[in-house]
Amino acid sequence: MAPLLDLCDPALAERFDNRFVRELPADPLRRDVPRPVRNACYSRVEPAPVAAPRLLAWSDAVGALLGLARPASATAASVEVLAGNRVLPGMQPYAARYGGHQFGNWAGQLGDGRATTLVELIGADGRHHELQLKGAGRTPYSRHADGRAVLRSSLREFLCSEAMHHLGVPTTRALSLVATGEPVERDMFYDGNAKDEPGAIVCRVAPSFLRFGNFQIHGAHDETEELQRLADHAIAAHFPQLGAPSPEVYAQWFAEICRRTARMVAEWMRVGFVHGVMNTDNMSILGLTIDYGPYGWLERYDPDWTPNTTDAQMRRYCFGRQPAIAQWNLLRLAEALLPLIPNHADLEAGLREFGRTFAIASNRITADKLGLVAIDESDEALLDDLETLLPQAAVDMTLFYRRLADLPADQAADDLDDESLLAPLRCAFYEGDDAGARLLPWLRRYLDRVRLDTEPAAARRARMNRANPKYVPRNYLAQLAIDAAELGDTTVLERLMKVLEHPYDEQPEHEDLAARQPEWARNKAGCSALSCSS
């Protein structure tokens, strides 16, 4: 394995690439002033320097992936790059142009309003990785905003990006978290109570941050040439197995986007992740989870729950609607691609691939979570009843499924008393044993069903524990890390990151990080309710 290089090592420049900039049409103006942009895929920008950049956190795993060494100190020269204070030779920073449907309505031009892509770096794995600074200042797409980000949202993105990767969910990654030394004014809940918060910048990493909205903006403005050039670039760079672009290949490409999106959302549902703002500009064509804003983790099981205060009335992006919204978003992408795929039947076939792929993935995931060899029609009543009972029993989703593997499945249900059935699950009930008692008849039916399979108990339990994490980045844990970091203490974040590198392992010394949401966090800002403010 080649030695890791410092980001500022001149030898690293040999691995810089700028395919997006090189191959696609640019905005001819070079002014970081919010304005409409036409017939372009991006605008060249320069990140705005900050007062006192200081490294708060670094992902060794992502560093190794990229072939980058951890900065030598919290204020090393490489930290200046990660803060946007220094652009290295060979970097050609830009902000991407895109549009999108927000909460079901076309919002027009959006774009990277506070994100600046520094470069594509060929990593230690030989693949291209886009390094993007979020919170690096104004761009032509900032509209009325300042292009900055605050520590609370930046830390949450850094934490969750890496946690999702280790959970096995397709996601963008995060390399670093840097404090800017500057205050940023934010009205957290848009209620007139703006205040200064510490600023921060997260360096996000992905093969590409291309979204549905990158294609929608060209479709909305009849920019067919730019649309085709962007599609050709995406296929060549990220879907080369499809071959040279043609109407048939465009259709195959759309179908693959549908499949990847289905697999991603199925994994969200497996671990109880709620994105919170599934606008089309927050949907990756690579099937990666992007733009960690007002996300949350399903703690008390409620399919109608959303962490996003902006969505509190409509609940458009609640946990249970995520598959349907993903398909709706794909339909919007299909509309944008009509100039390239004029045969509606091809687009309809792609959309059917979403449903087919999601059904297969969901069926497999449900079987693994419940420890069943396979799911068939005879199991529908058992599954439907569980979906009804979990909210009634005020059950913590993560803990319930994790501890379900501890039930004494080697004994007949009739031979077990109520205490033996409920004991492994007590930690999952928010409202005590009375709520848990509602599940007793179902638990007996479940154990009878499990005994119909012939899988050895140890293999079944291991399979369940690979599907059901013990540790997830619950919002209250993230908030504890934020509170400490705002006081200059990053040890809470560091411990949480280490534990979340192995979310399926028992780690008994960190049992407190697997606990259900405490009562103090139930209505605390940042723990249950969040907004898009960052």
Instruction: Please name the residues in contact with 192: beta carbons below 8 A apart, sequence gap of 6 or more.
Output: none
Task: List all residues 6 or more positions away from 446 whose beta carbon is below 8 Å from its beta carbon.
Answer: 370, 382, 386, 407
Domains in the chain, number: 2
Per-residue pLDDT tens digits for 30-73: 888 899 999 999 999 999 999 999 999 999 999 999 999 999 99
Does the pLDDT value for residue 532 go beyond 80? no
Summarised one tens digit per residue, pLDDT across range 476-498 is: 999 999 999 999 999 999 999 99
227 pLDDT band (50/70/90 cuts)?
very high
Exposed/middle/buried for 151, CB within 10 Å: 0-12, 13-18, 19+? buried
Range of the domain at 376: 372-454
Q: What pLDDT is stored for residue 362 in this prediction?
A: 98
Mean pLDDT of 378-390: 96
Cα–Cα nearest to 296, from 473, 151, 98: 473
Does 290 score more than 90 pLDDT?
A: yes
State yes or no: pLDDT of 534 exceeds 60: no
In-domain check, residue 66: yes
Residue 38, pLDDT score: 97
The confidence band for 524, taking pLDDT boundaries of 50, 70 and 90, is confident
**pLDDT exceeds 80 at position 1:** no
Q: Contact, 392 vs 442, CB < 8 A?
A: no
Residue 526 forms part of a structural domain? no
Residue 285 in any domain: the answer is no
The residue out of 210, 231, 265 marking a domain boundary is 210
Cα dihedral 146/149/150/154 (nearest 10): 180
The verdict on residue 217 lying in a domain is no
> 429 pairs with which residues across the strands?
395
Domain final residue, candidates 179, 210, 241: 210
Residues 6 or more apart in contact with residue 374 via CB below 8 angstroms: 367
Of 210, 231, 251, the one marking the end of a domain is 210
Give pLDDT tens digits for 361-380.
999 999 999 999 999 999 99
How confident is the model at residue 505, as a pLDDT? 98
Q: Which has the minimum average pLDDT: 45-54, 429-438, 444-453? A: 429-438
Averaged confidence pLDDT in the chain: 95
Assess if residue 517 is contained within a domain.
no
Given this model, what pLDDT does residue 528 score?
A: 77
Share of the chain above pLDDT 90, in %: 90
Mean pLDDT, residues 72-78 taken together: 98
Give domain status of residue 387, yes or no: yes
Indicate which residue of 32, 112, 281, 396 is catalytic: 281
Residue 281 among the catalytic residues = yes
**Is residue 533 scored above 70 in pLDDT?**
no
Whether 468 is in a domain gets the answer no
Q: What digits encode the pLDDT tens for the residues 132-182?
A: 999 999 999 999 899 999 999 999 999 999 999 999 999 999 999 999 999
For 428, residues 6+ apart whose C-beta sits below 8 A from its C-beta are 395, 396, 399, 400, 403, 436, 516
Residue 160, domain member (yes or no): yes
